[in-house]
Chains A and B, each alone.
Chain A
Amino acid sequence: MKMKLRAAAVVSASALLLAGCSTGGDGGTGGDGGGLVGTGSGESCVIESPVKVGAALSLTGGAGSYGVSQQQGLELALAELNEAKGIEYKLSVEDDASEPRQGISVMEGFVGDGTSIVLGPTLSNTAVAAMPIATEASMPVMGISTTAGGITDIGDYVFRDSLTEAQVIPQTIDAVIDEYSLKKVVVMYSNDDAFTESGYEVMAEALEDTDVEVLDTLTFSKADTDFRSLLTAAKDKNPDAIVVSALIEAAIPLVTQARELGIDQPIVGGNGFNNPKLMADAGAAAEGVVVGAAWNSASDNAENQAFLTAYEEKFGAQPDQFAAQAYSALYLIDDAIRSTCSAERSDLRDSLAQLKDVATPLGAVTINKNRDAEHPAVVQIVKDGKFAVLR
C-alpha cells in the first residue's frame, strides 16, 4: 500500500513537472531520430542506425550480485543477436547502485541520448522511482527482476518479463493439487510481514478457485523459530499437504520440525522458499518441499539448454534466474523490433505489447494486456538436495 502510494506520488509529481515542458509531439525518439525505421520484416529486417539499448542495473550496493548476473545475461544475448544480420544492437549498462536516486539520474541519461528501450532497474523500489521518468518521455522500459505489485501500472510504456508471485503461486498450487490429488490442506503464514502476507492472500485466493478444502489457517510471527505446537495442530487435522507463506529464516526451522514431528506430506512454499539455503540448512527435511519459480536451470526446453551451454562457455559458471530473465528480455525486444522493423520508441512500445509465444529460456512468453509477461512457471520439488522440476 505504502509502495503504491509512493509510486502514485512519484508519478503525479513527475507528471506535474513535465506538463510544463511537454512538447506536444508524438513522444518521438529524441536525439538522433530517423534511421531507426528499417526495411523488410522479421528475419530480413534491416535497420541502418545501431539500436541503442540501455540497462539500469544494480552493479553495486545491496543488490550488487543480482545486477552482475543480469549484466552477464545481457552481454550473452547481445553477442548472439549481433551475429544475426540486419540489426546492430548497442548495449550500454549503467549502475543504479541499488538506489532510487541514482536510478533516476541513470534513467534521465538514457531518455536524453536516443536509447530505444531501457532494461531494469534491478530493484522494484528503484524501478518505482525511475520508471516514471521513462514513461513521461514515452520511452519503453522493461523490468527484468522487479516482482512488486503495481510496477506496470506506472504507465503504458512499462513492461516486465519477471513473473510476479501472483502469477507463480496459482500455477504452483494447481500443479501440486494435480500431482498429489490433494483434497484438504492446512495453510500457514507469518502475518506480520507484508511480503508473506501478500503471498498468503494469493495462496488463499488460488485455493478458493479449486475444490481443495482449507482445514485450518495458522499464523505465526516472522521472528518465530519454534513451530512445533502449530505443526502439531496442523498434523491433528490430517491434511494432504501444508501450504506455507514464510521467509527463508522461518521456512528452515518450520520444515525441519515438521519432518521431526512425522509430517511427511508435501510442504508447498511461496517465493520465500526459493533459496538454496533451504536444502543447505534443512538437510534431508527439505526433501519433498515444493516451490514455484519463474525459471529453473533444469527446464528442458531447447532455448534454455542452448542458453545454459552458451552461458557456461562464456562465463565459466552456471546462470541464475536473474541472468535468464535479462537474457530473455533482449530476445523479446529483438522479436518486437523485427515484427515491425522499427526501433522507434513508440513503435517498439506497440510491438512489445503484441508479443505472443516468443520462445525463450523462460518458456513461451506472451505479453498480456497489463504489459506483464506470461509464461509457464516452473514448479520445483526438492529431490536429493536439489531443486528438480516437478512438472
Chain B
Amino acid sequence: MQQLLNGLFIGSIYALFAIGFTLVFGILDRLNLAHPAVFAASAFVGIGLAEAFELSIWVILVLVFLFGAVLGLVIERVAFRPLKNRPDAHFAGLIASIAMAGMIVAVLQAFFGPQTRRFPEGTAPEGKVELFGASATYVQLAIVVICIGLVIALNVLVKRSSLGRSMRAVAENPTAARVLGINVDRVTAMTFSISSALGAVAGVLFALNVNSAQLGMGTAIELKGLAVIIVGGMGSLPGALVGGLVLGVAEVFAIQYIGSSWRDFIAFALLFVILLLMPQGIFGKRKVREV
C-alpha cells in the first residue's frame, strides 16, 4: 500500500511537470525545453523568498505562479517568437529553448551558487496522516489535490472560456485562426505563460516534497516528463495526469518486484509498449499534420 501511494505521489509530480509541457505542445505544436529550467528556477526563487521574508507556503505558491507566468512570457518572446516564421520553426524553437534553459540555469548558479538548497523548516505544514496502513505527508496530499485541481481548472479554461476557444482555434489551424481575427501572438504568449506558471508550481512542490532543490532538478525529470506526455497522448491534459500516474506506479513496482537497477528500464519499456499498442497515447487524438 505504501508503495502504491509512493507511486501516486511521484506520478503526480511527473504529471504536474508534464501538464505545462503538454499544454504548449498540444496547442502550439512546440516543444519548450526551457520548461525544466523554469521548474528549477521557481524552486530556487521560492526558497529565496521563503528565506528572505518567512512567507507561508501559500503566498509563495502564488508568487511563484506569477514568477513562472512572467518567465513564460520572456521565453516565448526571446526564444520562440523571433523564429516563428522560419521554415524550420519547430526545430529552431526547440534549440532556442535549450539555449534559454542553459542561460536560466547559469543565472541561477550566479545568484544561488551550485549548492543544494532546501526550504527553511516550517515553510509548509509538517506532519503526516495514516491512510490504509501507509503514511502520507501533508505536502504529498496537497500535491495530489493541486495536481487534480489544476487539470480540472485547465480543462474548464480550454473548453469554456473565450481564451480557451481561441487556444483551440490556434491548435486547429493558426492561419485560419488569424483570418478569423484571433490574435495568435497573444494566445501563444498566454499559453506559454500558463504553461510556465504550472511548471513553476510543480518545481516548488517538488522541492518541498523531497527536501532538496538542485540546479539540475529539471533535467533529471525532463525525460520522464516527455515520456508522460507521449504515454498520455500528446497535448492531452487528462492524458498527462494519467500518464504521470502510470509512470510513477510503474517505477515503484519495478523497484518492489524486479530490482532497483531496473527502474528506468521498466519505466521506459512501458513507454514502448504503450506506443506499440496505442500509437496516439492513452488519451491522444489522431491528428493529421498538414505539410
A residues engaging B (CB < 8 A)?
Answer: 191, 218-221, 223-226, 228-230, 232-233, 235, 248-249, 252-253, 256-257, 260-262, 277, 281-283
Residue of B nearest to A227 (CB): B210
- B209 within 8 Å of A (CB atoms): yes
Looking at the assembled complex, report how far the CB atom of B122 sits from the nearest CB atom of chain A, in whole angstroms: 10
- B121 within 8 Å of A (CB atoms): yes
Asked if B214 and A225 make an inter-chain contact with CB atoms under 8 angstroms apart, the answer reads yes
A225 to B116, CA, bound (A): 11
A218 to B256, CA, bound (A): 10
Question: Which residues of B sit under 8 angstroms from A282, Cβ to Cβ?
Answer: 211
Residue of B nearest to A255 (CB): B211
Task: In the complex, identify which listed stretch (B4-12, B66-74, B276-284) lies at the interface while the others stay far away.
Answer: B4-12
Within 8 Å by CB of B7, from A218, A224, A229, A283, lies A229
A235 to B13, CA, bound (A): 23
Asked if A229 and B118 make an inter-chain contact with CB atoms under 8 angstroms apart, the answer reads no
Asked if A228 and B211 make an inter-chain contact with CB atoms under 8 angstroms apart, the answer reads no
Question: Which residues of B sit under 8 angstroms from A230, Cβ to Cβ?
Answer: 255, 260
Asked if B210 and A226 make an inter-chain contact with CB atoms under 8 angstroms apart, the answer reads yes
A263 to B264, CA, bound (A): 25
Given contacts A218-B260, A219-B261, A225-B220, contact A249 B6 (CB under 8 A): no
Asked if B6 and A229 make an inter-chain contact with CB atoms under 8 angstroms apart, the answer reads yes
Given contacts A225-B214, A249-B116, A252-B116, contact A191 B135 (CB under 8 A): no
Asked if A233 and B212 make an inter-chain contact with CB atoms under 8 angstroms apart, the answer reads no
A232 to B2, CA, bound (A): 7
Residue of A nearest to B114 (CB): A249
Asked if A228 and B6 make an inter-chain contact with CB atoms under 8 angstroms apart, the answer reads yes
Interface 1/0 per residue, B22-42 and A, CB below 8 Å: 000000000000000000000
Q: Write 19 A-B pairs (CB below 8 A) sorted by A numbering.
A: A218-B260, A221-B220, A225-B206, A225-B210, A226-B10, A226-B209, A229-B3, A229-B252, A232-B2, A232-B6, A233-B255, A233-B256, A235-B2, A248-B116, A249-B214, A260-B128, A260-B137, A262-B135, A281-B212
A253 to B206, CA, bound (A): 12
- B164 within 8 Å of A (CB atoms): no
Given contacts A229-B6, A232-B6, A283-B121, contact A253 B260 (CB under 8 A): no
A249 to B116, CA, bound (A): 6
Residue of B nearest to A283 (CB): B121
Looking at the assembled complex, report how far the CB atom of B118 sits from the nearest CB atom of chain A, in whole angstroms: 5
Question: Which residues of B sit under 8 angstroms from A262, Cβ to Cβ?
Answer: 135
Asked if A256 and B211 make an inter-chain contact with CB atoms under 8 angstroms apart, the answer reads yes
Given contacts A221-B220, A232-B256, A233-B260, 4 further A-B contacts (CB under 8 A): A225-B206, A225-B210, A252-B116, A260-B135
- B217 within 8 Å of A (CB atoms): yes
Within 8 Å by CB of B251, from A219, A229, A235, A257, lies A229
Residue of A nearest to B128 (CB): A260
Asked if A223 and B260 make an inter-chain contact with CB atoms under 8 angstroms apart, the answer reads no
Question: Which residues of A sit under 8 angstroms from B128, Cβ to Cβ?
Answer: 260
Within 8 Å by CB of A281, from B3, B13, B118, B256, lies B118
- B216 within 8 Å of A (CB atoms): yes
A14 to B93, CA, bound (A): 51
Question: Which residues of A sit under 8 angstroms from B209, Cβ to Cβ?
Answer: 226
Interface 1/0 per residue, B81-93 and A, CB below 8 Å: 0000000000000
Question: Which residues of B sit under 8 angstroms from A219, Cβ to Cβ?
Answer: 260-261
Looking at the assembled complex, report how far the CB atom of A320 sits from the nearest CB atom of chain B, in whole angstroms: 18
Near A by CB (< 8 A), chain B positions 193-217 give 206, 209-212, 214, 216-217
Question: Which residues of B sit under 8 angstroms from A225, Cβ to Cβ?
Answer: 206, 210, 212, 214, 217, 220
Closest 3 CB pairs of A and B: A225-B210, A229-B252, A223-B220
Residue of A nearest to B217 (CB): A225
Among A220, A229, A232, the most chain B Cβ lie within 10 Å of the Cβ of A229
A191 to B260, CA, bound (A): 11
A283 to B121, CA, bound (A): 8
A256 to B207, CA, bound (A): 13
Residue of A nearest to B207 (CB): A225
A281 to B51, CA, bound (A): 13
Asked if B210 and A229 make an inter-chain contact with CB atoms under 8 angstroms apart, the answer reads no
